[in-house]
Amino acid sequence: MTQTVLHIDSSARYQGSTSRSLSAQIVERLGADEVIRRDLASPLPQLTENWINANFTPADDRDAVQRDLLALSDQLVEELKAADTIVIGTPVYNFAVPASLKAWIDLIARVGLTFSYSEAGPKGLLEGKRAIIAVASGGTQFGSDIDFFSGYLRHIMGFVGITDVHFVAADALMADADAAMARANTAIDALAA
């Protein structure tokens, strides 16, 4: 069976980025047949009123300008749909995810494409996928009271239907980098391909 991985990095740093290093190790460990690469260091656009209006216009009624406004979002959704496993490398900036990753989330969380509404509430449409999130933080400990990123990312993944979510955390690197990297490498070694 072929496996497709969507590999997303959101660190603003290219050199010396722990989250980039960890996400690359995870992708290598998975040994995927195909890897779709999305680097968020090149910023994605923020949502605008025109984008929102285009998004809520029925697809058959959209004009060329609206279709153009949604083209990148459509592409990001297709990348997500094509993947069996999503690997996200993210640093922790100011106790949360980088703005670049939040912009990606805003562009892929689309009613009718990645989730739907029902009488029972929202339902994710991307079931059967797995997400592995590599997190690097200087001072924020994973799972602590000031960890505002892991619960958010787990919730967003579940919101679009991805409930098989694993974290590889190199947390509190500034306190003990060697121990943090050892924990992260152990978690990577434990991942099933």
Residue 192: predicted pLDDT: 76
Please, are residues 45 and 103 in contact by the beta-carbon 8 Å criterion? yes
Residue 88: predicted pLDDT: 98
Place of tokens 């190199």: 170
Residue 89: predicted pLDDT: 98
The whole-angstrom separation of Cα 59 and Cα 64 is: 11
pLDDT classification of 172: cutoffs 50, 70, 90: very high
Residue 1: predicted pLDDT: 65
As annotated, the binding site includes 11, 17-19
Domain spans, the chain: 4-189
Of how many residues is the chain composed? 193
Q: Residue 175's CB: how many other CB atoms inside 10 A? A: 11
As annotated, the binding site for FMN includes 11, 17-19
Angle at 173 between CA 170 and CA 178, to 5 degrees: 80
Section 103-115 average pLDDT: 97
Section 91-117 average pLDDT: 96
Q: What percent of the chain has pLDDT over 90?
A: 96
Residue 2: predicted pLDDT: 73
Residue 193: predicted pLDDT: 61
Q: What percent of the chain has pLDDT over 70?
A: 99
Residue 26 has pLDDT above 80, yes or no: yes
Mean per-residue pLDDT of the chain: 96
Fold observed for domain 4-189: Rossmann fold (3.40.50)
Give the helix/strand (H/E) hosting 116: strand 115-118
Section 103-111 average pLDDT: 98
Residue 43: predicted pLDDT: 87
| pLDDT tens digits for range 116-161 | 999 999 999 999 999 999 999 999 999 999 999 999 999 999 999 9
pLDDT classification of 75: cutoffs 50, 70, 90: very high
Residue 93 has pLDDT above 90, yes or no: yes
